[in-house]
Amino acid sequence: MRVKILILLGLLNFTWVASPLAGPVADDAYLAKFHPVQAPESSGLILKAGDRLAICGDSITEQKMYSRIIEDYLTMCAPQLNISVRQYGWSGEKADGFLSRMTNDCLRFDPTVATTCYGMNDCEYRAYDERIGQTYDTNMTAVVDAFKAHGVKVILGSPGCISKVPFWANPAAVTLDDLDLNLCQLRNIDVKIAREENVRFADVFWPMLTAGHIGRQEYGANYGIPGNDGVHPHWAGHLIMAYAFLTAMGLDGDIGTFTIDLKRNKIKVSEGHRVISAKDGRYEIESFRYPFCPCGPDGQAAASYPVCGRDDVNSDNSLESGMTLVPFNQRLNRLMLVVKGTDAKRYKITWGDDSEIFTAEQLNRGINLAQEFPANPFSGAFSRVDMAIAAKQAYETFEIKSFFRGANSGNSMEAVVAQTDKVVGEAEKERDGLVAAIRAAYAPVTHVIEINAE
């Protein structure tokens, strides 16, 4: 599988990395019809310790998948930032719909950073015309301005792409190309707004479009980055969306480095990790930073999260599959093992329950444990935290839709918030308690690396 990942990323680097800067690849007939304008580069980390992140969008956000990946990542892979997260997805929403509710539903919680992902419904599932573009431009600019007026740093996400005409559109009146060309135009409008408003831009459209194109070539015609209905992604598509937002945040992806000198039987670890013992090629480490884990143990993975051992890289419902189509591990998920003082040609590395063989040259350069061992000693702990995050995000949808927009919403919103942020009816599951459950689930992981010459 590692060879496949390198091959696909090599293809993707040719199309995806170059294309937003220089236009579509000329010799690819499918991509050549699209004209994504140059995207602004993200420079430096936009987040600061203690930030409060609002993840805003339509039904794709309400799926609570890319939002969950983002919160998982910030909670476990970058715990030093202590970022709190709320998701505000609302099915069927357009930019003007969020604009009308953002003060009541979002700004009252004083976010300091916000991501937006609109445009899918704003395209009206028809061919592009200037009215659609002007309306979207006006509403998204107003959303950005409202956030900025409250001191919120904005990461303006583009819409994604479509892989087939959805059943709720009129297939007799619109083609797939009509829809994706429309969404590409809205993506270009987002680039313009980001430049004019001096905010970050997350390119969701182009990576999803190119990844889906390559995925269909590699994994078959039914491989759908935007999901079965052509719009709502499975895990592979949401991994790509999360990748777009996390890279736009400026995260460096350095989870940690373990440097081992075999001759001296010494190990050095980077910040976020602590050496417990080093003896006879066995190195025990306590880690406070987790790598991002694309699967959970059987019987423990929650809410459809892929299960280790049953996660099929050929499936668009696989996070590992998404990782073959964007350089997620290379840019965001580097837990490096560097081995010096080697005198054999090959070594068996055992980490948790799995072992892999590497050459001395590979180990001297460094291997990425997070990529080489998708199921690893962190998987169980990662799943426990992910389960708590999934429960909290599910409640956030319930809170807004059932209480903020329910029968009591005409009363004092301060009273409604005070009540619903503490208690949900007879279940007595308060959001504060759900946040506390995430903190309780997150704990240092003790793990062992064993190195044996072959």
Q: How does pLDDT run along the chain (454 residues), one tens digit per residue? A: 344 444 454 444 433 333 333 344 446 888 999 999 999 888 899 999 999 999 999 999 999 999 999 999 999 999 999 999 999 999 999 999 999 999 999 999 999 999 999 999 999 999 999 999 999 999 999 999 999 999 999 999 999 999 999 999 988 899 999 999 999 999 999 999 999 999 999 999 999 999 999 999 999 999 999 999 999 999 999 999 999 999 999 999 999 999 999 999 999 999 999 999 999 999 999 999 999 999 999 887 766 899 998 889 999 999 999 999 999 999 999 999 999 999 999 999 999 999 999 999 999 999 999 999 999 999 999 999 999 999 999 999 998 888 776 555 555 556 656 655 554 443 335 788 999 999 999 999 999 999 999 9
**Is residue 284 located within the same domain as residue 233?**
no
Q: Are residues 123 and 56 in the same domain?
A: yes
On whether both 152 and 36 belong to a single domain, the answer is yes
140 and 265 assigned to the same domain: no
Host domain of residue 143: 2-248
Q: Does residue 375 contact residue 309 with C-beta atoms inside 8 Å?
A: yes
Cβ neighbourhood burial of 288 (10 Å; 0-12, 13-18, 19+): middle
Question: Which residues lie across from 116 on neighbouring strands?
Answer: 56, 156
- Please check whether residues 67 and 186 belong to one and the same domain: yes
Tell me the whole-structure pTM to 2 decimals: 0.92
In a domain, 76, yes or no: yes
- Specify the residue for token string 């702990």: 381
CATH number at residue 128: 3.40.50.1110
Tell whether 420 is covered by a domain: no
CA-nearest of 327, 313, 304, 307 to 220 is 313
- H-helix or E-strand containing 10? helix 2-12
> Is residue 157 in a domain?
yes
Q: Which of 248, 279, 302 delimits the end of a domain?
A: 248
Contact partners, residue 306, CB within 8 Å, separation at least 6: 235, 294, 295, 296, 317, 318, 319, 320
Q: Residue 86 falls within a domain, yes or no? A: yes
Amino acid at 117: C
- Same domain for 130 and 186? yes
Query: Does one domain contain both 347 and 240?
Result: no
Q: Which of 248, 267, 282 finishes a domain?
A: 248
> Do residues 241 and 346 share a domain?
no
Closest CA to 243 of 196, 288, 292: 292
Split into its structural domains, the chain has a count of: 2
Place of tokens 């736009």: 248
3-state SS, residue 349: strand
Please tell me whether residue 68 adopts helix, strand or coil conformation: helix
Is 234 found in the same domain as 272? Answer: no
For the CA atoms of 89, 294, 40, 116, the dihedral, rounded to the nearest 10 degrees, stands at: 0
Tell me: do 260 and 167 sit in the same domain.
no
Same domain, 90 and 157: yes
- Among 217, 248, 279, the domain boundary falls at 248
CA 244 centroid distance within chain: 7
